[in-house]
């Protein structure tokens, strides 16, 4: 019998228990969750929250979101970052939308710093969902960073009329600076996704 490649869609029945087990009712815990920072993490503490919506505008209740970001000084927890790693902040989080009664994802983190001259603070985000044969990559930029957003080399490559799909407006309804980022998988408001 010839072995076949494992499907790239990992939120289905293949690896659900290892990635977001709580979402599927397993009595296990994930290696990562929405708590990207703790109370002692340096920087401005923020929350990023949103929903994943399909082409009809319906909420996707079993998507999985991963984020990776720099710390408040713009350093990545990665040996390839020449500025030195911040070992206390990994910048990585993972959450399933099925773990929230309103099918939201929510990350408590810090506002990232500028990673390179001319770039804007941003968070890298990956979407895994049923119906996606391969995961989708995008970025979150912050609405209150308009000057930096105007010079960001990646955001500048996105057509002007589509940039808004990558910019999260700020609300403070939860008592902490909160950025709302809904991900539209298809339709008129489809989020810009990047080829990696």
pLDDT at 77: 79
Tell me the Cα Rg of the chain: 17
How many other CB atoms are found less than 10 A from the CB of residue 151? 12
* Of 171 and 140, more confident: 140
> Which H or E element spans position 150?
helix 146-151
Rounded CA-CA distance 177/45 in Å is: 7
pLDDT at 28: 57
pLDDT, mean of residues 61-74: 91
Question: In terms of C-beta density within 10 A (0-12 exposed, 13-18 middle, 19 or more buried), how is residue 5 classed?
Answer: exposed
* Of 174 and 189, more confident: 189
Q: Sorting pLDDT into bands at 50, 70 and 90, what band is 25?
A: low
Question: In terms of C-beta density within 10 A (0-12 exposed, 13-18 middle, 19 or more buried), how is residue 118 classed?
Answer: exposed
Q: How far is CA 116 from CA 58, 123, 177, 187, in A?
A: 37, 14, 24, 33
pLDDT tens for residues 150-179?
999 999 999 999 999 999 999 887 788 999
Rounded CA-CA distance 53/63 in Å is: 10
pLDDT at 119: 96
pLDDT at 168: 98
Q: Is the pLDDT of residue 11 over 50?
A: no
> Which H or E element spans position 77?
none
Maximum CA pair distance of the chain? 58
pLDDT at 112: 96
Share of the chain above pLDDT 70, in %: 80
Question: Which domains does the chain show, CATH number per domain?
Answer: 16-184 (2.60.130.10)
Q: How far is CA 99 from CA 80, 96, 109, in A?
A: 33, 6, 18
């Amino acid at each position: 019998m010839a072995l076949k490649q494992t499907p790239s869609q990992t939120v289905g029945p293949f690896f659900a228990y290892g990635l977001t087990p709580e979402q599927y009712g397993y009595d296990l815990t994930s290696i990562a969750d929405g708590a990207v920072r703790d109370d002692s993490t340096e920087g401005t503490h923020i929350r990023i929250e949103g929903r994943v919506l399909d082409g009809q505008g319906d909420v996707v209740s079993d998507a999985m979101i991963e984020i990776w970001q720099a710390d408040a000084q713009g350093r990545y927890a990665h040996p390839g970052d020449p500025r030195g790693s911040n070992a206390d902040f990994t910048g990585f989080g993972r959450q399933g939308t099925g773990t929230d009664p309103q099918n939201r994802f929510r990350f408590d983190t810090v506002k990232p710093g500028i990673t390179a001259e001319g770039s804007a603070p941003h968070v890298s985000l990956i979407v895994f969902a049923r119906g996606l044969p391969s995961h989708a990559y995008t970025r979150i930029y912050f609405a209150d960073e308009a000057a930096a957003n105007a010079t960001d080399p990646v955001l500048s490559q996105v057509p002007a009329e589509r940039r808004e799909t990558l910019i999260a407006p700020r609300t403070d309804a939860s008592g902490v600076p909160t950025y709302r980022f809904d991900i539209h998988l298809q339709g008129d408001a489809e989020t810009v996704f990047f080829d990696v």
